[in-house]
Amino acid sequence: MDTWWWLALGAVVALSLVTALVDGGGRLARPLEGRRRRRGVPLPDRGPRPGEIWWTRAPLLVLVLDVRMDCARVARISAERPGDVRPQEAPATKLALPPGTVADAPGKVSTLLTDAAWEVELTEFGQRAGEIDPDTWAQVRHLSGGS
């Protein structure tokens, strides 16, 4: 019986195995750009979470609306002392937050500006400043663009 068939079959199997390993390694090394986080998948233990208030490096005070792999959708929070004169803004774009919501703004009135939300990279978040209550979250979670 000829043994060269067995050698040819072994070579085909070895080449197939090498090809599968190289292709699989290349697929695992690809970045996750453009992929959205699946619902129900837990986020890392550290970093911003929806409903939390954070300072960014800009420095801006923001409410985190949604967190994805590399960025978060946020809305700006304005903290003003009573009697401060600011340009007139439409009342519909401001939502007053309950006193004490922002831990580092004693004596200031904090309002959420609901007219614009934008994306901020996760590396731009600095320090957590508090979180909003469930009733306020129910009023503003639609700003995240999700359900």
Please say whether the beta carbons of 94 and 64 come within 8 A: no
Q: Which residues, in sequence order, are bridge partners of residue 100?
A: none
Chain centre distance of CA 57: 16
pLDDT attached to residue 114? 84
pLDDT digit string (tens) for the chain, length 147 residues: 578 888 888 999 999 888 888 877 656 555 544 445 445 444 455 789 999 999 998 889 999 999 988 899 999 998 776 655 555 555 557 888 888 787 766 677 888 888 888 999 999 999 888 889 998 888 888 877 764
Q: Output the CATH code of domain 52-144.
A: 2.30.30.110
Cα 48-130-64 angle, rounded to 5 deg: 35
pLDDT attached to residue 71? 92
Of 64, 62, 61, nearest to 47 (Cα)?
64
**Domain segments of the chain as ranges:** 52-144
